[in-house]
Structure 1
Amino acid sequence: MTTSSSSDLSPSEAAVLESVALGLPAALSDLGALVRIPGIAWPAFDQTQLERSADAVAQLARDTGVFDDVRVLRAHIDDTDELGQPAVLATRAARNGRPTILLYAHHDVQPPGDDELWETPPFEPTVRDGRMYGRGAADDKAGIMAHIAALRAVGETLGDDLDLGVSLFIEGEEEYGSRSFARFLRDNADALRADAIVVADSGNLDSHTPGLTVSLRGNARFTLTIRTLEHASHSGMFGGAVPDAMMAAVTLLSTLWDADGAVAVEGMTARSGETPPYSEETLRVETGLLDGVSPVGRDDILGRIWNRPSVTITGIDATSVAQASNTLLPEVSVVISARVAPGQAAADAYAALEAHLRGHAPFGAELTFSDVDLGDGFLVDTSGWAVELTRDAMADGYGEAAVDLGVGGSIPFIADLVREFPGAQILVTGVEDPHSRAHSPNESLHLDTFRNAVRTEALLLARMNARTSAS
């Protein structure tokens, strides 16, 4: 694909991009204001901050002047009486036969973790070396502001000629499992129904090459408790005869991988698919892999991340180093987070994991499985008109041809979107680059990538507005 120069743009498209450029300082200022709100959906955190965050996003939507209606809403979690976190829903009806687009992002963020690991405070947005640092600066408050900034530019430029239908859905609990997401879709199906859905919660190949995410791994997360003793005992008195829970845990967990570090669980499948060139050197730079530490797995590196399963131990409950004593532990609990190759059902992958662990439990250790959380992967149908329109907008917005990406992470709620709106084309985009460190200390947004993402979305909206039908 060849990229288009500014001379290839229509006068109205060039005007939209000029409006984007003029509005960028305000968009970054508004992003900084959102980053200052520590909206975390975990119950241990102040939930009023999520309400502040939702209200701030709702006001940003109102101020665009684009929408007919803007509300902060909650939905029940599954079939319980418990309400989920506040979400923002803004709508405007399509006119004159134009299609409707649904723009998604989320305003909740991950907990900051250890403040000492941050170079600057996590909720104080700080710009240095062309990046904005702060929790949520990239994931996913930048996604919100990409939508808002693009809508501002299109609304200001097209005015009364804006006939495109637009729904804006900004979720408030994506980082906490989207517990009320499916119910929210059912409760608001008419308002959310669209011809195309932009999910601005992914990334790009690098800081200057746009990516359209066409595959996502699923997830299977659960807590495994390993028990070998009724009570703790003296390690000097009985060590060497009695297997404690830590010994059993280490022995059992090591069976999840082979000698190369690839997943060794029978029944967890892989997918074949082409990937762009990606070197071990790039992997080291983007991940901070230490000198002398080898990558794990086999075959091409991106194939391992996009198309093969992975298993990670993300948490462990055992005696801390500070509290260590000469004791045989009776019980150890770990959180196992598995990523499931696109095309395999998460339930099938979980069943394979459970069978593997039960079949390899050493010394007859007692295993208990709890807190199971499953989400299916996603494969995009790339044949639709909206996909072509998005690729062209990316080429013009970034000045680089778009690359089809697989993503090693998971966005399980996309399966809910596909189920509820089977006729909609799903477009997974994002503002992150490989150095954004989403979910980690020193999360950041590359400002040039943000600018190009806004340019792209503004062009996409303008070109959709020019379509006379959704077909």
Structure 2
Amino acid sequence: MTSTPTRRDAVRDAALSGIPTALADLGALVRIPSVAFPGFDHSEVRRSAEAVATLARETGVFDDVRIVDAAVPGTEERGMPAVLASRAAAPGRPTILLYAHHDVQPVGDEALWDSPPFEPTVRDGRLYGRGAADDKAGVMAHIAAVRALRDAVGDDLGLGIALFIEGEEEAGSRSFAQFLSDNAQTLRADVIVVADSGNWDARTPALTVSLRGNVRFTLTVRTLDHASHSGMFGGAVPDAMLATIRLLSTLWDADGAVAVDGLARREAATPEYSEETLRDEAGLLDGVSPIGTGSILGRIWNQPSVTVTGIDAPSVKNASNTLSPTVSVVISARIAPGQPAAEAYEAVRTHLERHAPFGARLTFDDVDLGDGFLVDTSGWAVESVRAAFAEGYGVDPVDLGVGGSIPFIADLVREFPSAQILVTGVEDPHARAHAPNESLHLDTFRNAVVSEALLLEELDRRVS
């Protein structure tokens, strides 16, 4: 005796059969170098938005699809183009907001890529290319899930769906809050899915329940009015490089843990995670020891970190016997979930000012702050997405903390306080987002699409 296929079976089958088309569409998006950073060709960001808008229109699901930008507060600038699509919910049905972003990181040194960064290339079960994982795969997971629901449900679809595909997430989301305010009515939803995080591994799905916040700024250290001869004055005059090295070294203790008073640490249990796994996933060289104290995941998820991500100083090629008058560095701090970013910035700034050696003069510029996030896991939508993950991946999901930051989630919480926010993603620990040879694990993508389609199907059956 054979069982009668259910509507849920039909959604799963539609999601699986749509994977080849979804991957072809993803490849087309990867070919567009949509870098929203200053100095790059922003017409490519516009072209990427137009391609995403076309995909949204072709689903036949949305009542309205637009390319929209918003003002950057405090400036006369406009943000990068985003795609906003919507369909109204049937009476008594919920609305879900699907978020991802179509802009990407710069490629860096192309010589470090094994294949051209904007030419999608499949090797060993992975799709390589800038944006293949972060976050054009998130865009296509949403599109493919909506297609599957449409194909299986047809005219019975009653779920309200809003689609918001941002165009400047990698460049700081400077117009994000204004965009939410301008389009609040269209974006208002019962559930928000943010597809910009990762999974436990290539096989095991995860729901991100905590994110660290971020504090980023440029620090300039000055000790001289002008450069001077190191032979004539070295040994008596502190150059800016010496002062910078001495100052930066005070940010960490002997274990490499952050040594800044006022930066919080969160106490929370973490899953087992070995040093061997850390070495494999992070590329830590043999003989180089991990830093910090406590459990490894506790250090990454719940403790602060401070990283110097850039430096302006004489290059090795241009080095001369000169005392440098100024040195500038970019400091990127990740802060424990629950601590306000503004409070953390003041702690770091106060520490640096108190520890400036030799009376060096410090200036702070280009300050960028983002609060962390803790998910309320008591809502019904959390259980729904966990069940969809288990069904779509065939493996029970884990709750995941993430050491990175998605600062705009604080804006979503502020604008839509009653919405349940689910942070998901299609990346695995080997995706190398932001780095050369970024890639998407193809099986993970397939399972993510099936899981999201099943979540949409359940919400479509839900009646308030």
TM over 0.5, shorter chain: yes
Where in structure 2 are the equivalents of 1:177-216 lying within 5 Å? 177-216=172-211
Equivalence map 1:379-394=2 (5 Å): 379-394=374-389
Whether 1:363 aligns to 2:358 is: yes
SS at match of 2:214: strand
Match of 2:7 in 1: 12
2:246 aligned with 1:251: yes
**Local SS of the residue matching 1:176:** coil
Q: Distance in 2 between matches of 1:448 and 1:301?
A: 27
Q: Which residue of 2 aligns with 1:264?
A: 259
- 1:344-367 Cα offsets, whole Å, 9 max, x none, are 000111000000000000111010
Structure 2 residue 459 is the aligned partner of structure 1 residue 467:
no
User: Any idea what the Cα deviations from partners look like across 1:305-324, whole Å, max 9, x if unmatched?
Assistant: 00000000000000000000
Q: Distance in 2 between matches of 1:417 and 1:80?
A: 22
CA-CA distance at 1:81 after TM superposition: 2.7
CA distance 1:255–1:10, shift in 2 (3 Å): farther
Instruction: State the match for 1:131 in structure 2.
Output: 126
Shift of 1:79: 4.3
Distance 2:9 2:269 in 1: 35
CA distances 1:132-154 after superposition (whole Å, capped 9, x unpaired): 00000000000000000000000
The reply on whether 1:50 has 2:55 as its aligned counterpart is no
In structure 2, do the counterparts of structure 1 residues 375 and 9 end up closer, same or farther at CA, with 3 Å as the change threshold? farther
Matched residue, 2:27: 32
Q: Which residue of 1 aligns with 2:219?
A: 224
Match of 1:308 among 303, 311, 317: 303
2:112 is aligned, of 109, 117, 120, to: 117
Give, in whole Å, the separation in 2 of the partners of 1:395 and 1:9: 22
Amino acid of the structure 1 residue aligned with 2:113: W
Classify 1:413/1:9 alpha carbon distance in 2 versus 1 (closer, same or farther; 3 Å): farther
Please report how far the alpha carbon of residue 228 of structure 1 lies from its aligned counterpart in structure 2 after TM superposition: 0.5
Between the aligned partners of 2:359 and 2:4, the Cα distance in structure 1 is: 69
Say which SS state the counterpart of residue 147 (structure 1) adopts.
helix
Partner of 1:436: 431
Q: In structure 2, the residue corresponding to 1:174 is in which secondary structure? A: coil
In 1, Cα distance between the equivalents of 2:5 and 2:463? 17
CA deviations 1:421-456 (Å, max 9, x no partner) are 000000000000000000000000000000010011
Give TM-score, length-normalised by structure 2.
Answer: 0.99
Separation of aligned partners in 2, 1:396 and 1:274: 26
SS of 1:194's equivalent in the other structure is coil
Query: CA separation of 1:13/1:338 partners in 2, compared to 1, >3 Å: closer, same or farther?
Result: same
1:152-163 matched pairs, under 5 angstroms: 152-163=147-158
TM-aligned CA deviation for residue 176 of structure 1: 0.6
Describe the superposition over 1:70-122 as per-residue Cα deviations: whole angstroms up to 9, x where unpaired. Answer: 00001101143311100000000000311000000000000000100100010
| Structure 1 residue aligned with 2:159 | 164
What is residue 4 of structure 1 aligned with on the other side? none
Q: TM-score, normalised by structure 1?
A: 0.97
> Considering only aligned residues, what root-mean-square deviation do their CA atoms show, in Å?
1.1
Partners of 1:290 and 1:18 lie apart in 2 by 44
Q: 1:286 aligns with which of 270, 281, 289?
A: 281
Instruction: Give the 3-state SS of the residue equivalent to 2:333 in structure 1.
Output: strand
The answer for unaligned runs of 5 or more in structure 2 is none
Query: 1:383-440: CA deviations, max 9, x gaps?
Result: 0011110000000011111100110000000000000000000000000000000000
Residue 378 of structure 1: aligned partner: 373
Within the candidate set 397, 401, 411, 1:406 is matched to 401
- Aligned runs of 1:83-94 on 2, under 5 Å? 83-94=78-89
